[in-house]
Each structure stands twice: as structure tokens, then as C-alpha cells.
Chain A
Amino acid sequence: MNIPQDLLYAKTHEWLRLSGASATVGITDHAQHELTDVVYVELPAVGTHVAAGQQICVVESVKAASDIYSPAAGTVESVNDALSSDPALLNTEPYGRGWIFTLRLDGEADLSSLKPPAAYAQQLAGQ
């Protein structure tokens, strides 16, 4: 499984890329593989405020609907509209063009529960 070095990971298999006071969020290669063919992404509404670990959107494969959780507290700043017409980007480029949304992080957002790549790799190895 591909686990890029420059990201932080939630134990529920979302990734977060920090960029100043904002962050981009998507799902991991492991998650997309487990989900199988993604056929629909229900994007969050821009402006939604979420707590860390709160359910924020839904990704659907042919067989199942799966909840996606926000890895950090913040306000949804933008969403990846390309996923509406091409949900399979989540499978083909989970860390690239398959990003789901960006978040303006809360001032006091606590990222300490997120895992560095090595710890996430360990979590997958232990499954």
C-alpha cells in the first residue's frame, strides 16, 4: 500500500496534508482498496464546521456506503467537484486528484491524534 511520507493519517483511513492554516483531506490507498470501485461521492457543503472525528461525507461503492470522518476540527473551505463526475478518481489517485475537501483549521485544532506515516503503516500491518 502506498503511504506518502508528507501526510498525516487518521486511524479511520483519511489523510491530511497541512498547508499553513488549511489542510487537504482524502482517503488512503488502503481505504480505496477496501471500498472497491467508488461510484458516488457525497461531498460536504462548503462552510460546514466539523469536529475532529466527526462524520463529514459519504463515499459509495457498488456494494456499500461508507462514512468519511474529518481528521481535524475546522470549516470546509472547498470541495473537489471533479469527484461528482469522476468518483473513480478516489480509486486511481487517492492522494492526488482524488482529494475530497479542504479545511480551514480551527485555531486550536489538535492534530496530535493523527499518525505519522510509520505509525499508520504499523496500524495496517497489525490488521
Chain B
Amino acid sequence: MDTAPKRTPLAPVHEALGARMIDFGGWWMPVQYHGILEEHRAVRGQAGLFDISHMGEIFVTGPGAEACLNRLLTNDVTQLENGQGQYTLLLNERGGVIDDLLCYRLEQNHYLLLVNASKIEEDFLWLQSHATAGIAVDNQSDLWAGLALQGPNAEAILRSLLGPDVPLPARNQIATLGIPNGPILLARTGYTGEDGFEWFCPAQTAPIWWDKLLEAGRPLGLLPCGLGARDTLRLEAGFTLNGSDLSPEHTPLEAGLSAFVKLDKGDFIGRTALAAQRDSGLARRLVALVLEGKTPPPRPHYPIFNADSLVGETCSGSLSPTLGQGIAMAYLPSALCAPGTRVELEIRGRRFPALVSKRPLYRRPTA
């Protein structure tokens, strides 16, 4: 099937800025504006602005929405108060990952699920077919645009745009801003390892807010950033990417996401399989790898060896701009998962030593 990629409301803005555009999972998205390294460093040091309009917004509402979601998602939805969000996963019956997402409780029995672009339709159909009577599952992905403002200067930039009186959400919280060209759903979350916000606005207002945010941020070092930097940032920060590091073939326990899986909260789809896996022990786990010395940048699907046996392959990999070294993620046999274990990565027929390391590889400096 050869269909033209979907365009976000910001595609013309990216093209006008001279961004390099690519087809990313069916979306026409900027991979970079001036350079991935420069954009990466802007987010670590000042701030970056990303178009995340390709991500999906699915609203789940109605009496019993809380209980319904709690049977479909791995984290404990009942822990959320109004205005709070949590990272969570949607699993199949075998405990394999369909998607990872953020679940926000806007009001009682009124939830927003922020899902991966490539999974919008699949998640929506799954939620719809598993929803209990009286629950409305509403895919509003085409009605909303999303901008991610990330970096140590993100808060100062929003302050400069919104003035001193607008209350900003705390970490993992979401607020509704009733301002002109709104409403805005403003969440304090991100995928970069930095402080930051995700700003959801009506699709047609996206170019207005993109320009306003860039203008407010310019004196504070804000740069527009593409998916290239988004990938290197999330990899350093140890965040998994669905489709690369997560898949229906792996459970969240294997992916090191057990903090977001509440096996004791009551039944949910995939729980039986996960409980069995927990009891029998994990055969493989997702680890971070740091290559030693100067090496070619690791990329997905590079083979990994322990002595002379093939023990796995990379699922994500890149040069880490912050560390100046190659980094990767891979599922390895549990015996090789202890930090400090040395394995070898094969790149174009040559082997390079890599050290199993604790995730995340980058943690932002605390003030």
C-alpha cells in the first residue's frame, strides 16, 4: 500500500523553516532543522520545541471509566486524582505490549489517553472492543495538535508567554488553560529526561502557538527540534520506544517497566501471564549498553555476542551526544544483565566491547 504520509497541522511550518522531512511511521515529520547534535544540546542546556501532533488523543468517559481502564491498563488508575497522569501500558492476553501511553484523569470518570502515533487505530479499536457498557471511547487525535517544550528553560519560557498568574502543573500533572486560541491541555511530562511540558491545543491553532512559543523562547535559547534529537534524548534518558524496544513479543517486566505494572491491584488483561512470568523468573531483560571508546554509532538490529555465542541484538542505538559514546538497548539473557557485564557488539563484521549499564544513562542535574 503506497499512501502519502499524513501531515500534522505544523507540516507547512516545518517546511518553511527548512526542516528535513521524513515519512515516520506514516507521518510527514521533521527529523531535524539545523542538526541533531545542536538540537539535542539545546534541550539538555536550554530548551527545545517539538511537534508531537502525530501522537493520539483518546478520551475515555462515562460512569465506570475508572474501573474499565483499570482492567485494560497495567498501572493503577485508582491512584490518580483529578489533574494527575501516569505512565502505563496496554497489553494483550499474553502480557505482550500493544502500546505504552500516558493516562490522565481530567475529572472523575473522564480520562485522556496519550498514545503512540503508529498505534492510534489499534489502541482505539482495542479500547472500544473491550470497553464496558456505558463507556464512551472517543478518538479525537485529528482534532488536537501537540507541542513538547522540553529543557531546563521550559518553565521560564512558559512564564514569559503566559505571565506570572497562570498556575503551571507540577510533574506528571495536567491543567486546562482557558485562554484565547484554547483550550490548552498542559501536562508537565516529556520524553527527553528534562523538565518540560506537553501542550495540547485545537489542531487549527497549532501554528499560532508554535510561533508564540518559539518567540517567547528565543531569548532563552529555545530551538525547534526534530525527531532525530527526540530519539537520542529519549535513549539517553532510558525511555523505551514502542515498535523498537517494546513489542507484543515482550512483556513490560522484561522491558524493566515493573514499576508501572501493579500486579496486586486486581485483574487486568495480561495479568495472568505477567504473574506467571514473575513467579518463574525472567529469561531475558532489556538492558542499556555503553560502547567503550570510539566506535561507529550502534543502530537497531546489530548482533550482540558473549564470547562466541550470539546472545541478542540491539533494538535501539545511537551515538549519545552527551556521553560522546555509542549507546544502545537490547534484550539479553538474564545471566548477562548485571551492570558491568561485558558483551560485544558486531558492526559491519567487527566486534566492539560494550558494557551493560544501569538505566537511565543520563539523569538531569538536580538544582
Contacts and interface: CB of A to CB of B under 8 A. Distances in A.
Interface of A: 36-37, 39-40, 42, 58, 60-63, 65, 84-85
Interface hub of A36, A42, A85 (most chain B Cβ within 10 A): A36
Contacts of A58: 296, 348
Contacts of A36: 20, 32, 35-36
Contacts of A42: 296, 348
Contacts of B296: 40, 42, 58, 60, 65
Contacts of B228: 62-63
B102 interface: no
A85 B348 CA distance: 20
When A and B form their complex, which 7 residue pairs have the shortest distance between CB atoms, in order from nearest? Answer: A62-B36, A40-B296, A37-B37, A39-B319, A37-B35, A60-B296, A60-B297
Nearest to A84: B294
A63 B36 CA distance: 9
B295 to A, nearest CB: 8
Contacts of A63: 31, 36, 228
A60 B347 CA distance: 12
Interface residues on B, range: 10 to 19
A61 B318 CA distance: 10
B348 A62 contact: no
A64 B36 CA distance: 12
Given A62-B37, A63-B228, A39 B294 contact: no
A39 B36 CA distance: 11
B81 to A, nearest CB: 40
B234 interface: no
Nearest to B36: A62
B318 A62 contact: yes
Contacts of B321: 62
Contacts of B299: 65
Interface of B: 20, 31-32, 35-38, 228, 232, 294-297, 299, 318-319, 321, 348
B-side interface mostly: mixed
A67 to B, nearest CB: 10
Contact of B36 (A37, A60, A84): A37
Contact of A62 (B20, B232, B294): B232
B56 to A, nearest CB: 25
Nearest to A91: B35
18 contacts: A36-B20, A36-B36, A37-B35, A37-B36, A39-B297, A39-B319, A40-B294, A40-B319, A42-B296, A58-B296, A58-B348, A60-B296, A60-B297, A62-B36, A62-B318, A65-B297, A84-B294, A85-B294
Nearest to B321: A62
A79 B308 CA distance: 32
A39 B321 CA distance: 10
Nearest to B22: A63
B319 to A, nearest CB: 5
A65 B295 CA distance: 13
A43 to B, nearest CB: 12
A99 B120 CA distance: 47
A63 B297 CA distance: 9
A125 B120 CA distance: 40
Contacts of A65: 296-297, 299
B119 to A, nearest CB: 23
Interface centre among A39, A63, A84 (most CB of B within 10 A): A63
Nearest to A63: B228
A65 B319 CA distance: 12
B297 A40 contact: yes
Nearest to A64: B299
Contacts of B20: 36
B255 to A, nearest CB: 24
B44 to A, nearest CB: 15
A36 B20 CA distance: 10
Contacts of B319: 39-40, 62
A40 B321 CA distance: 12
